[in-house]
Structure 1
Amino acid sequence: MIKNFGVKNFASIGEGIEVSFEFDGNTPENVSNGQNIGTVLGIKGANGSGKTNILKAISFLFSFVSKRIAPLDEDGELKGDVNLPLDSFFHNTDPSEFYLEFVCDETKYHYEVTLKSDGILTESLIRNVGGKTEFLVFHRENEEILECEDGLQELKTIKLRADQSIISLPNDYKFHTSTFELELINEYFKKFIFNVGQGGMRYDGYNGPTERVRSQFYFENKDAFNFVKKIIKSCDDGIDDIQIKRQKGENGGFVYFPEYIHKYKGKEHKLAQHDEAMGTKVLFSSLYKYWLTLTHGGLLIVDEFDIHLHSMILPEILGLFTNTKINKKSAQLIFTAHNTEIIDSLGRYRTILVNKEDNETYCFRLDKVSVLRNDRAITPVYLKGKIGGVPKLKKANILRALEG
């Protein structure tokens, strides 16, 4: 599980931000469920405040440590110079810094990396045992490992690449000695799913090719389909059933597609995906990610979590992660949303508020705001602008600007 994440000099993030899933001793029992680390974080803020940039930073780090990002040729060699998809704050020349505290296989770790678009400057991993004793797993500067545990001395024989994390090395090399710990961490990061990249949110289509790919996945994974079908039927009481059909395609393969069964006056009526409401399409297209994350553990990163979904549905989806009977693998969810009421469903300990001053993003969790109380709604205070995270431009100002 992720405890804390920090980043400096990335996109609109200048001096640095920290995002924490970790609870303190004041967290109410009905929020913490007796755990020290939360499973849900919602990010709120005005348009352009940097909400998506926080998710981009997290997604970049997880991609970086789980696999080599730079394109390779057929022989596995780098195509051209190293050019990591890394945007610094207003394109300054200083390095970007990331750190991550996480728990993997009941062991606590602290990971740090400093890098520029042309490669890694420093990288280190520390294991924490018993909450007090720390062991350095490895420390690297540029393309040289300066320190590592005795069991990982073979790493020093590898010609390190400027664009490749040490954690991802077991993907590309066969070691004679055990690299089990690195492999375990690497596999953990590969479970993370996100819909943001260097350009922001990645649009996930709802018809056509995307519909067929999702349909095939649901056809081949009955548990996932039952999960999705139950949720869609509970959100749209007009749907009596959903079936995944397949038929021969033009090239000899199969084409998969959903049929939605509606009943009217005792008769069944079948509708195709393009005939359904947009909210239903969104759920059909995206819920597989929730099923995968809940089934295997890891982290689901969702930009525009609330798009096309009614505000009353959103708390139910959050419940997939906060309900310990459903979320048995302690999977985590972090998302951005423009819906305001979601703040009251999240509460103080699960809401990150993002602001921007002088074009620089900063953020804080709402339990750090003294004027808020656990037993009172947050939305009224938020809408009055007393805690930030709202647009500074009021409607009247927009109209005046248009009037000239």
Structure 2
Amino acid sequence: MIIQLRFSNFYSFAEGTELSFELGKKPTPSAYDIEIGGTRRLNKALAVIGANGSGKTQFIKPLAFLSWFISSSFLGSKPEDPVPFHPHTFKREEDSLFEITFLLDNEEYRYKLIANRKHVVHEALYKKTSHLFSYVFVREKTESGYDYKQQGFGFPSSQARNIRSNASLLSAAHNYDVPMASTFVEYFNKYSFNLNVSGRQHFHGGNVLESAEYFFKHAHFLSDMERMMCDFDLGICSVKIHEAEGKDDQGRSTKVFVPVAVHECENMSFELPFFEESSGTQSAFVLLRRILPVLENGGVAIIDEIDNDLHPHMLPHILELFKFEHTNPRQAQIIFTCHTPEVLNLLKKHQAYLVEKIDQQSEAWRLDEVTGLRADDNLYAKYMAGALSAVPNL
């Protein structure tokens, strides 16, 4: 579970920015709370709202970047590749900072990365011991290469110092079969997102086929997906996935998995391929492929523009999946951006971030940071009236 993310000099965010799932002692308990040891609470759900171009996507993108960098950068990039992010235009020559604090197996850890497009400057993992954090490993760039120290991490210095400069040491250690590294890679692999380090993965037909293949190969999710698609009142009574022969980009034969919706009316039925269904139906299908594994296995769903092509009435049903133990037994979390201000009627002020861009620099704040904003205030009405800012300047 994520506790907090801090970052700076990342895309439109030039200054230090904080994204926190942690609650103080004052907020009234809600169904979106995670109780930690009886003394702390974390949010299960966070919404990010703001005008077009304000930086909403950039605000959640560090989570996708860190998930990829920690788990896949060693094998997923070439030695000559740049580290795949961009600093703020005004600070393109400066390093960027990322620091994420999270819970894993009831232990609190902090991962810190300082990097630029050319190389990692500093990478470290810390574990909380009593009220302080002690290092598990620290990797520091020097003029001659990298310094490295570790405490019980299990990755030999001779190998660690030679890891290439555009890859994570955690990712490399995992591929060298270091058990502790694999534990953290497995954790970050549970982050599910519809955006990559370059931005949102815009919807296309391939998403539908990939989702269909996933459900076909993970049949235990199939019935949940089918039930929810029917519950969304899309006129669908069941979903089938047909296996067919197709061609890949090189013209070679390959398996293709085609989802089909079954519709019934007055004792008659017909099948309609998902590609002939509405964009909203297809989007709901793809969204469930992202969310259902997180709900079952634990982790974090990071969804950009969750309301894209979806009717606003579907959003409460998606969020409710994270509320209850029977649908969210492992306390999964979700953070999402949207353009639907009605979401403020579903969440409390400590569960909503607003994002605004001023002088080409994005800023973000959680609504419980706004002075004078009461817990029983109508957040939607205040936002629509412009009292909370982060609205289009038309």
How does the TM-score come out when normalised to structure 2? 0.90
Counterpart secondary structure, 1:322:
coil
Deviation larger for 12-21 or 316-325 = 316-325
Which residue does 2:87 correspond to in 1? 88
Which residue does 2:275 correspond to in 1? 274
Alignment of 1:326-365 (within 5 A): 326-365=327-366
Structure 2 alignment gaps of length 5 or more: none
AA aligned opposite 1:196? L
AA aligned opposite 1:232? M
Which residue does 1:161 correspond to in 2? 164
Which residue does 2:257 correspond to in 1? 256
| 1:322 to partner: Cα distance | 2.2
Q: Whole-Å Cα distance in 2 between the matches of residues 171 and 33 of structure 1? A: 30
AA aligned opposite 1:265? E
| 1:182 to partner: Cα distance | 2.1
Which residue does 1:318 correspond to in 2? 319
CA change 1:242–1:146 in 2 (3 A) is closer
AA aligned opposite 1:112? K
Counterpart secondary structure, 1:43:
strand
CA change 1:257–1:72 in 2 (3 A) is closer
Deviation larger for 155-164 or 64-73 = 64-73
Does residue 151 of structure 2 align to residue 149 of structure 1?
yes
| 1:129 to partner: Cα distance | 2.8
CA change 1:224–1:357 in 2 (3 A) is same
Q: Whole-Å Cα distance in 2 between the matches of residues 270 and 72 of structure 1? A: 42
Superposed CA deviations along residues 310-366 of structure 1, whole A, max 9, x for unmatched, are: 111101101111222211111111111001101221221110111122111111111
Report how many aligned residue pairs link the two structures. 380
Which residue does 2:71 correspond to in 1? 66
Deviation larger for 340-349 or 216-225 = 216-225
Which residue does 1:399 correspond to in 2? none
Which residue does 1:27 correspond to in 2? 27
Match of 2:222 among 213, 221, 225: 225
Does residue 199 of structure 2 align to residue 200 of structure 1?
yes
Counterpart secondary structure, 1:147:
strand
Does residue 43 of structure 2 align to residue 42 of structure 1?
no
Which residue does 1:400 correspond to in 2? none
AA aligned opposite 1:164? A
Does residue 144 of structure 2 align to residue 139 of structure 1?
no
Counterpart secondary structure, 2:260:
strand
Deviation larger for 215-224 or 99-108 = 215-224
CA change 1:128–1:71 in 2 (3 A) is closer
| 1:157 to partner: Cα distance | 4.1
| 1:256 to partner: Cα distance | 2.5
| 1:86 to partner: Cα distance | 2.2
| 1:72 to partner: Cα distance | 5.5
Does residue 215 of structure 2 align to residue 212 of structure 1?
no
Q: Is the 8 A contact 2:34 2:331 kept in 1?
A: no
Alignment of 1:230-249 (within 5 A): 230-236=227-233, 238-249=235-246
Q: Whole-Å Cα distance in 2 between the matches of residues 216 and 92 of structure 1? A: 41
| 1:40 to partner: Cα distance | 1.1
Which residue does 1:180 correspond to in 2? 179
Q: Whole-Å Cα distance in 2 between the matches of residues 389 and 100 of structure 1? A: 25
| 1:27 to partner: Cα distance | 2.0
Which residue does 1:125 correspond to in 2? 125
Superposed CA deviations along residues 133-163 of structure 1, whole A, max 9, x for unmatched, are: 4321112211423432155362354313211
Q: Is the 8 A contact 2:74 2:172 kept in 1?
A: no
Please identify which structure carries the higher strand content. 2
Q: Whole-Å Cα distance in 1 between the matches of residues 82 and 234 of structure 2? A: 50
CA change 1:368–1:186 in 2 (3 A) is same
Superposed CA deviations along residues 31-71 of structure 1, whole A, max 9, x for unmatched, are: 42545111111111111111111122221122111122686
Q: Is the 8 A contact 1:66 1:167 kept in 2?
A: yes
- What do you get for the CA RMSD once the two structures are aligned? 2.1
| 1:231 to partner: Cα distance | 1.0
| 1:196 to partner: Cα distance | 1.7
CA change 1:111–1:217 in 2 (3 A) is closer
Q: Whole-Å Cα distance in 2 between the matches of residues 39 and 259 of structure 1? A: 33
Q: Whole-Å Cα distance in 1 between the matches of residues 235 and 76 of structure 2? A: 47
Q: Whole-Å Cα distance in 2 between the matches of residues 203 and 95 of structure 1? A: 29
Q: Is the 8 A contact 2:174 2:181 kept in 1?
A: no
Q: Is the 8 A contact 1:6 1:19 kept in 2?
A: yes
Superposed CA deviations along residues 172-211 of structure 1, whole A, max 9, x for unmatched, are: 324xxxx432221111111212122243211132x4x443
CA change 1:344–1:60 in 2 (3 A) is same
CA change 1:350–1:292 in 2 (3 A) is same
Counterpart secondary structure, 2:362:
strand
Q: Is the 8 A contact 1:236 1:280 kept in 2?
A: no
Counterpart secondary structure, 1:261:
strand
CA change 1:140–1:374 in 2 (3 A) is same
Does residue 17 of structure 2 align to residue 12 of structure 1?
no
AA aligned opposite 1:137? V
Does residue 386 of structure 2 align to residue 388 of structure 1?
no
Which residue does 1:372 correspond to in 2? 373
Q: Whole-Å Cα distance in 2 between the matches of residues 269 and 151 of structure 1? A: 58
Counterpart secondary structure, 1:182:
helix
Counterpart secondary structure, 2:322:
helix
